[in-house]
Amino acid sequence: MDGRLISWLACVLSVIVVSSAENATTVAPPTTLNPALNETGICRKCNCQDNKVDCFDQSISEFFSLQEWNDLKGLKPTVVDLSENLITNVTVIGDLPIQVLNLSRCSIEFIENASFRDLQEMTTLDLSHNKLTSDRLSPHAFEGRFSPEEYEPLAAMRKLSLAHNELHSLHQDLFEHLPELTELDLSGNPLATIDHVTLIAISSLPMLKVLRMRSCQLTEIPDKFLHTPRYLERLDISDNQLTAVPQELEETKNLLYLNLNQNPIVNGSPRLRKLQELHMCNMRELRSIESGALAGLENLQRLHVSFNHKLTFIDPRALARPDDIGETYDWPTVKELYLQSNNLSELDARFLPRWDLLEAVDVSNNPFLCDCSTQWMVDVLVPVIEAKHANATANMVCNEPIEMRGYTMKHLNDIHRTMRCVDKYGHRPEKDGAMLLGTLIGVLLAVPIMLTLMLLWRHGYFGWLGLRGPVDVSRAFYKRAPADESFNI
Ligand SMILES: *[C@@H]1O[C@H](CO)[C@@H](O)[C@H](O)[C@H]1NC(C)=O
Ligand SMILES: *[C@@H]1O[C@H](CO)[C@@H](O)[C@H](O)[C@H]1NC(C)=O
Ligand SMILES: *[C@@H]1O[C@H](CO)[C@@H](O)[C@H](O)[C@H]1NC(C)=O
Ligand SMILES: *[C@@H]1O[C@H](CO)[C@@H](O)[C@H](O)[C@H]1NC(C)=O
Ligand SMILES: *[C@@H]1O[C@H](CO)[C@@H](O)[C@H](O)[C@H]1NC(C)=O
Ligand SMILES: *[C@@H]1O[C@H](CO)[C@@H](O)[C@H](O)[C@H]1NC(C)=O
Ligand SMILES: *[C@@H]1O[C@H](CO)[C@@H](O)[C@H](O)[C@H]1NC(C)=O
């Protein structure tokens, strides 16, 4: 009995040992996590995994202390997401290899001096959607470590977002510790005018490549504003109060992308030789694009001119620039063209030299006049668009003349419809028939009436009106000048 019990126990024990050993190997952490990590405040509140600390929307109301940050060292965090919390004050963060720090949507009002001093590997700092004000956001917030070459830089910093805060103006030295910044987002701040100090702040960023100033209530772009950032490639000044294309844009010699959407721009022609992408949508005052207006854009590839409800005319030569000899025209090689939802009644075939070279095109939802001037759209453009995307022309619909209203250009193409011409006086062909009939009836009625009147007049019926009949006239004539007498003189 004893022997069997012992062997049974041994068997059970070995099973337990084996299974617990199995569990031990499977439970062993895959990364070299610090066992003490779970004890620190940060990973209790957030999700710590790999090199990411995810504290998104955890109702955190107090910023972590320096000690708590320092306890995180074993994790070697490179991405820390603290967005969507209730932190009002940012304080100093420990020496950590963080590259991306997200402090978006935290109601932040104040950033203590040199809070990011020890984040020497930080490239991206998102401070968007907070409550930073011009008065309280100090240049010292971005102070780095002492460096013999530069003034206490945060040397790795490339992307900074201050979008959607309450900045009326920027401190002129705000970026003095961020000398290598390439991307800056100031969108959604009530700047209204770019004052002198703001201009100095932006001018202190020589490496800037991307600048976003959407919805900043700007009424103008001052001179010299874009003079220093010589490498600027992308500029978004949409949803402002600009009434003309800013002259200052010509200072940006390397601009590739320009967004002017939602500005009440009436006119102006940007001359940006390298520009590849232009957005001019939702511009409520744009009525026409005149000859040569876009001719300065020699390298344009993507043109977005949509949702301009008053845009009624685009000159056939809007993109064409006279060549060097002045004998013919050159066009940019446009690859994408978006002209949907404007008020265009026609699109001239000469606007582009080769429609079949477009990679993407949308001209739908315009009140097209379907006559001989737009026949090319039915014959040429519809097949080009349909070849890229079936049914993409579904919203290319005739609005005029009245008997064509509602037909899609695709349908007209399917039935090989040849459309008549509306003459240059604006007469519509469908009215010509009615006019002809009217004229005919007029003539038919006029002849008998005239004959009757002639007869009555001949017989002197209009004497009471002071009109003599032809009888009196001929009598007087014969009395005064007999033909034979005058001949003899
Ligand atoms: C081994 O892990 C499983 C779940 O993964 C668990 O159900 C089981 O109790 C563990 N066994 C031991 C001996 O820890
Ligand atoms: C941390 O705690 C979780 C559960 O809260 C546990 O599964 C994990 O093994 C712990 N990690 C370390 C390194 O202690
Ligand atoms: C935030 O900092 C300001 C200025 O240092 C201080 O007056 C305020 O009490 C701090 N608020 C919190 C919640 O710590
Ligand atoms: C920061 O978080 C917000 C919201 O969670 C997100 O929209 C934004 O893209 C993040 N920023 C960065 C730089 O990842
Ligand atoms: C921040 O630093 C500046 C300059 O060193 C100093 O004048 C200012 O008092 C400091 N602010 C705080 C809140 O410590
Ligand atoms: C659209 O164009 C037509 C003429 O083609 C014009 O009568 C109308 O007023 C324009 N609509 C707007 C909103 O400008
Ligand atoms: C295009 O429209 C036709 C009829 O409206 C439909 O039968 C066809 O499936 C559509 N094709 C695509 C790719 O959506």
- The ranges assigned to domains in the chain are 266-354, 367-424
Q: What is the distance between the alpha carbons of residues 431 and 434, in angstroms, rounded to a whole number?
A: 5
Cβ count within 10 A of residue 119: 23
For atom 10 of ligand 1, the residue with the nearest CA is 23
Q: Are the beta carbons of 144 and 120 closer than 8 angstroms?
A: yes
Q: Are the beta carbons of 303 and 281 closer than 8 angstroms?
A: no
pLDDT category of residue 215 using cuts at 50, 70 and 90: very high
- The percent of residues above 90 in pLDDT, for the chain, comes to 56
For atom 4 of ligand 2, the residue with the nearest CA is 38
Q: How many whole angstroms from 56 Cα to the centroid of ligand 4?
A: 10
Q: What is the distance between the alpha carbons of residues 385 and 54, in angstroms, rounded to a whole number?
A: 45
Pairing of strands 368-369, 398-400: parallel
Q: What is the distance between the alpha carbons of residues 275 and 263, in angstroms, rounded to a whole number?
A: 19
The strand pairing partners of 48, in sequence order, are 53
For atom 7 of ligand 5, the residue with the nearest CA is 140
For residue range 154-167, what is the model confidence (pLDDT) as tens digits? Answer: 889 999 999 999 99
- What's this model's pTM, rounded to 2 decimal places? 0.77
For atom 5 of ligand 4, the residue with the nearest CA is 83
* Residues whose beta carbon lies within 6 Å of some atom of ligand 7: 390-391
Q: Among 382, 385, 388, 391, say which to mutate for ligand 7: greatest number of ligand atoms within 8 Å of CB.
A: 391
65-102 residues labelled b (16+ CB within 10 A) or e (exposed): eeebbebbeebebbebbbbbbebeebbebbebebbbbb
Nearest atom, ligand 3, residue 112 CA: 5
Q: How many whole angstroms from 38 Cα to the centroid of ligand 2?
A: 6
Q: How many whole angstroms from 108 Cα to the centroid of ligand 3?
A: 11
Which residues touch 117 (CB under 8 Å, ≥6 apart)?
92, 143, 144, 145, 154
Q: How many whole angstroms from 29 Cα to the centroid of ligand 1?
A: 15
For atom 13 of ligand 2, the residue with the nearest CA is 35
The secondary element (H helix, E strand) that includes residue 26 is: helix 2-27
For residue range 73-125, what is the model confidence (pLDDT) as tens digits? Answer: 888 899 999 999 999 999 999 899 999 999 999 999 999 999 999 999 999 99
The DSSP string of 41-67 is HHHHHSEEETTEEE-TT----SPPPHH
- 461 or 243: which carries more pLDDT confidence? 243
Q: Which of 57-61, 196-200, 463-467, 475-479 has the lowest mean pLDDT?
A: 475-479
401: preceding bond cis by omega (within 30 degrees): yes
Q: What is the distance between the alpha carbons of residues 111 and 101, in angstroms, rounded to a whole number?
A: 14
Q: What is the distance between the alpha carbons of residues 53 and 43, in angstroms, rounded to a whole number?
A: 8
Nearest ligand to the C-alpha atom of residue 75: 2
Within its chain, how far is the Cα of 319 from the centroid?
Answer: 19
Q: How many whole angstroms from 345 Cα to the centroid of ligand 7?
A: 26
Q: Is the CB of 104 under 6 A from ligand 4?
A: yes
Q: How many whole angstroms from 23 Cα to the centroid of ligand 1?
A: 6
Give 408's DSSP letter: B
Q: What is the distance between the alpha carbons of residues 318 and 352, in angstroms, rounded to a whole number?
A: 9
Four-point Cα dihedral 144, 147, 149, 151, nearest 10 = 40
For residue range 253-266, what is the model confidence (pLDDT) as tens digits? Answer: 899 999 999 999 98
Q: How many whole angstroms from 43 Cα to the centroid of ligand 2?
A: 10
- The tally of CA atoms less than 13 A away on the side-chain side of residue 217 is 12
| Triad 447, 452, 453: Cα angle to 5° | 100
The secondary element (H helix, E strand) that includes residue 236 is: strand 234-236
Q: Is the CB of 61 under 6 A from ligand 3?
A: no
What pLDDT, on the 0 to 100 scale, is given for residue 481? Answer: 42
Residues 273-288 have a mean pLDDT of 94
Q: What is the distance between the alpha carbons of residues 189 and 240, in angstroms, rounded to a whole number?
A: 11
Q: Is the CB of 110 under 6 A from ligand 3?
A: yes
Quick one: how many helices (H) and strands (E) in the chain? 10, 22
* Residues whose beta carbon lies within 6 Å of some atom of ligand 2: 29, 33, 35, 37-38
Q: Copy the structure tokens of residue 186.
A: 């100031």
